Amino acid sequence: MKRKKILFVASEAAPFISTGGLAEVVGSLSKALVKKGDEVRVFLPMYADIKQEYREQFRFLGNTTVPVAWRNQYCGVFEYVSDGVIYYFVDNEYYFKRKGCYGHFDDGERFAFFCRSVMEILPLINYYPDVLHCHDWQAALAAIYLKTIYCKQDGYRDIKVVFTVHNIEYQGKYSMDNLQWLFGIDGYYQGLVEYNGCINLMKGAIECCDRFTTVSPSYAEEIKNPYFSHGLDGIVRRNESKLCGILNGIDTVSYDPATDKALYANYDSKKLKNKAVCKEQLQRMLNLQIRPNTPIVAMISRLVDHKGFDLVTAVIDEALDNDMQFVLLGTGEGYYEHFFAELAARHPQQVATVIAFNPELSRQIYSGADIFLMPSKSEPCGLSQMIASRYGTVALVRETGGLKDSIKPYGAGGNGFTFGNYNAHDMLYVLKEAMTLYRDKEKWRELVTKAMNTDFGWDISAENYDDLYSDLLA
């Protein structure tokens, strides 16, 4: 069978640049597809924050000019090969020599340049993929440009497009004034991108693509509903014949408690003794009382409403009346940062709050905690519940999106604990159930083993994507 040529377009990818789950997915899925026999290449912006250790290995391929509406901008192209994946880095210091990936006043122009660059670079590198796979709104214009400006040109006309919605909340909305002078889209195509009186790039990509996916089956169903769609449910329903949900995985080589160098001690599902060492060392580091038989309930998250923190703040004092400790790592809204800092001040030996982004500490928490709490109002997929399970920390989640697809209730023979209604006392009830089971050491060990042995790798998901590509190209 002929190797499928897959080209990813994304605003971030691990290990080069990462702000969250998108980077993990692009970095891991590309490698998994190569193992399936596909040829995978990835386009990324050449951000200033990419570490020098990678930059030193980039190979300069050449440069071209890229039209950004009425201007022509310099575009350099660098190449890097890792694990069989070819990465292309799009260089323009005006757009990308800044701190951080997002949040700049001209993000629309920056990603318009990036997406148009992808189209212009293909002849330069003499490469035309079978499938152009675009990720989230920052890459949406690549799909739109292909289907409007380039689709009749040699090399481009047979390319199929897949668009993945990682989070429908962020859609790339801009004033209609920008249609031609900024994005360079002819007024003839205005209907593709116009929605509710403005340009909506995610809407445009959904309309233009041949297939679109979400990062879990449940989320694919949820975004047909106004409660989850942030206004796009009508567009989703109109295009639902093109829609499917494929659950993300995690990099099980990177996230492996048997080899992870960030841990105080390594362990696996057959030899769990060292998980107790990780717990004790975590308690020491965070100045918690050393209590081996007291469950540590942990959260690692952005501190925002839709992650369920309004539920946690409503019942955390009642929860702490039980024999438990609580550990929180994350940053976010000022109200929650203050609330949990004050909570730790009132319960210094029972609660630890770390207002920071700290990847090494997160791994130490995954390994040292007993229960991982994730009560999200909405969650397209979520990776933390999978990572926690991999480290033997039992996940307690609300049944939404990928949380529902990856964690099944203990009472039904599953690998964790779940609750359905978005209700603080429903969450607390299940948390108490989990802490009760924790005290039955034999049953808890069985549950920990089941959680650790759940297959959260990319093999199944990569197979699903590969089948999707094959159907498109049949």
In one-letter notation, the amino acid at residue 424 is: A
Q: What is d(CA 33, CA 19) in angstroms, rounded to the nearest whole number?
A: 22
Task: With a cut of 70, list the residues of the chain below it in pLDDT.
Answer: 1
**Which ranges of 70-200 does DSSP label H, i.e. alpha helix?**
93-96, 107-125, 140-145, 178-181, 190-193
Q: What is d(CA 452, CA 387) in angstroms, rounded to the nearest whole number?
A: 9
List the structure tokens of 61.
């391929």
Torsion of Cα atoms, 55 then 118 then 468 then 2, to 10°? -80
Contact 304, 391 (CB under 8 A): no
Contact 327, 298 (CB under 8 A): yes
List the structure tokens of 270.
């057959």
Question: Sign of the C-alpha dihedral, residues 450, 452, 458, 459?
Answer: negative
Residue 76 parent element (H or E):
strand 71-82
Closest CA to 232 of 160, 168, 149, 291: 168
Q: For residue 2, what is the DSSP state?
A: P
Q: For residue 147, what is the DSSP state?
A: I
Q: What is d(CA 40, CA 283) in angstroms, rounded to the nearest whole number?
A: 43
The domains found in the chain, sorted by start residue, are 5-249+459-473 (3.40.50.2000), 273-453 (3.40.50.2000)
Q: What is the pTM of this model?
A: 0.94
Contact 214, 148 (CB under 8 A): no
Angle, CA 373 vertex, CA 372 and CA 379 arms, to 5°: 115
Q: For residue 270, what is the DSSP state?
A: S
In one-letter notation, the amino acid at residue 45 is: P
Maximum Cα–Cα distance across the chain: 69
User: Which of left, alpha, beta for 364 (phi over 0: left; psi -120 to 50: alpha)?
Assistant: alpha
Predicted pLDDT at 124: 96
Q: What is d(CA 225, CA 238) in angstroms, rounded to the nearest whole number?
A: 12
Predicted pLDDT at 1: 61
Q: For residue 13, what is the DSSP state?
A: B
Predicted pLDDT at 207: 98
Closest CA to 229 of 171, 154, 175: 171
Secondary structure of residue 249 in the 3-state scheme? coil
Q: What is d(CA 464, CA 214) in angstroms, rounded to the nearest whole number?
A: 12
